[in-house]
Amino acid sequence: MDKINHEYEYKGMLINGFLMIFFTFILIPGLIALTIATLAEDAPGLATAISIPLFIIFILGCVGYFVQEPNVARVMIFFGKYKGTCKKVGYYWVNPFLNRKRLSLRIRNMDIEPIKVNDKVGNPVLIGMVLVWRIKDTYKVVFDLDSQSLGAGAAGINNNALSNFVRIQSDAALREVTGHFAYDNTDASRPDELTLRSSGKEISDLLEKKINERLAMAGMEVVEARINYLAYAPEIAAVMLRRQQASAIITAREKIVEGAVSMVEMALKSLDERDIVKLSNEQKASMVGNLLAVLCADEPLTPTLNANV
C-alpha cells in the first residue's frame, strides 16, 4: 500500500489513558517524593539528579492524553512526518511529541444559494442545490490543501475553510452540469430528452459525479446532491411563463380535438347501425361541423332553429 500520499492507520504506541493516569499522577509523583525523602539528607545531589528526570517525565506524561469519539479521526504527525491516522474510539495516551490534528468524519449539510447560469439553449436560469458531504481521506485534507488557508493547528482543521472549498467546487460543478441541459423540453420530436425540470434523479446523479471528481483531490466526498431551487431568471420569467401557458393550451386543445373527433365518429357509427336516419355526405359533413363546433368551443353555443319550409 502506498503510504506517501494516502491515508493509512496509525500503528504506533497507543496506551489506555486510564492506565497512564495511574503511571503519571500516582507512580511518578510517588517516586519523586520517595527519592527526596530518602536521599535528601545523605545525598542531596543524587536526589536532585534522580528527581529532575522524573519530573520531566511527569510533565511529558501530562501532555499525551486525548479522548476520541465515534466518527472522529486524528492525523498523527511526528516532527513533520505523517505517522498515520487514528480512528479508534476511547481514552488514550500517545507520544507527547506527536502533533495530533483532529478531523470530524461526520456528515455535513450545505445549502448552495441559487446562482444564475445559462442552460443548454442559452436561457438564464436560477438554480440552487442541497449538498451532503464528508471527509474521506484525512491525509489529503491535511497535506494536499493549503494549511494556512485551512487554519490547521493542533486543535484541528478550520471547518469554515473546508466548507468554503466545498462551496466553490460545488458551484463550479453546478454551472458545468446546468450548461449541458435545457430548463424544459424544447423539442417536441424528443419527448425523452433530459431536462433540468423533469429529470431530477439523472441530474442529481450527474451532479454527485462531477462534484466528487473535484473534491477527490482534497480527500472529501459527496454523499448526496439535489437541486432544491429552479426557476427562470427574472428578466425572462414572464416571457417563459407565457410560452408555457401557450404550450399547455395547445396540448389541451389537441386532447379536446382528439376527443371530439372520437365522439363524432361514434355518433355517426351509432346512427348508421341503428338505422335512425339516412344522411347524405353533405348532411354528414354539416353534422360533423356542428358537433365539432359544439365540442371544441370554449363557451356554450347558442342553438338556432332553421324555420325554412
If asked whether residues 80 and 118 sit together in one domain, one would say no
> Are 93 and 167 in the same domain?
no
- Asked whether the predicted pLDDT for residue 186 surpasses 80, the reply is no
Average pLDDT over residues 262-275: 74
Residue 288 has what pLDDT? 72
Query: Is residue 152 in some structural domain?
Result: yes
Q: What φ, ψ does residue 66 adopt, rounded to 5°?
A: -160, 155
- Whether 228 and 253 share a structural domain: no
The domain boundary, picked from 44, 79, 104, lies at 104
- 58 burial level (CB within 10 Å; 0-12, 13-18, 19+): middle
Can you tell me whether residue 78 is helix, strand or coil? Answer: strand
pLDDT one-digit tens code per residue, 69-85: 999 999 999 998 999 99
**12 compared with 188, residue with greater pLDDT:** 12
Quote helix, strand, coil % in the chain, to nearest 5: 50, 25, 30
Burial class (CB within 10 angstroms; exposed 0-12, middle 13-18, buried 19+) of 161: middle
Whether the Cβ atoms of residue 110 and residue 167 lie closer than 8 Å to each other: yes
Number of domains in the chain: 3
Is the model more confident about 62 or about 146? 62
State how far the Cα of 309 lies from the Cα of 302, in Å rounded to an integer. Answer: 22
- Of 163, 110, 174, 171, the C-alpha closest to 141 is 163
Of all residues in the chain, what percent carry a pLDDT higher than 90? Answer: 35
Rounded to the nearest 10 degrees, the angle between the axes of helix 159-178 and helix 200-215 is 130
Among candidate residues 64, 79, 104, the one where a domain is terminated: 104
* pLDDT higher than threshold 90 for residue 48: no
**Residues 6+ away with beta carbon under 8 Å from 121:** 182, 183, 186
Which of the four pLDDT bands, split at 50, 70 and 90, describes residue 121?
A: confident
- What digits encode the pLDDT tens for the residues 215-261? 999 999 999 999 999 988 887 666 666 666 666 667 777 777 777 77
Residue 53 cell numbers, joined: 528526570
- Considering the domain architecture, whether residues 91 and 37 belong to the same structural domain is answered as yes
Average pLDDT over the chain, rounded to an integer: 80
Question: Is 303 part of any domain?
Answer: no
Per the domain annotation, does 3 fall within a domain? no
**Residue 152 scores a pLDDT above 60:** no
Gap between the Cα atoms of 50 and 39, Å rounded: 10
**Higher pLDDT pick, 122 / 136:** 136
Name the nearest CA neighbour of 110 among 232, 213, 234, 211. Answer: 211
Q: What is the pLDDT of residue 269?
A: 76
Q: Tell me the H-state helices in 144-233.
A: 147-150, 159-178, 200-215
**What's the distance, Cα to Cα, between the start and end of the chain in Å?**
104
DSSP string, 220-286: EEEEEEEEEEEEE-HHHHHHHHHHHHHHHHHHHHHHHHHHHHHHHHHHHHHHHHHT-----HHHHHH
Range of the domain at 54: 15-104
**Which one of 78, 104, 130 terminates a domain?**
104
- Same-domain check for residues 112 and 219: yes
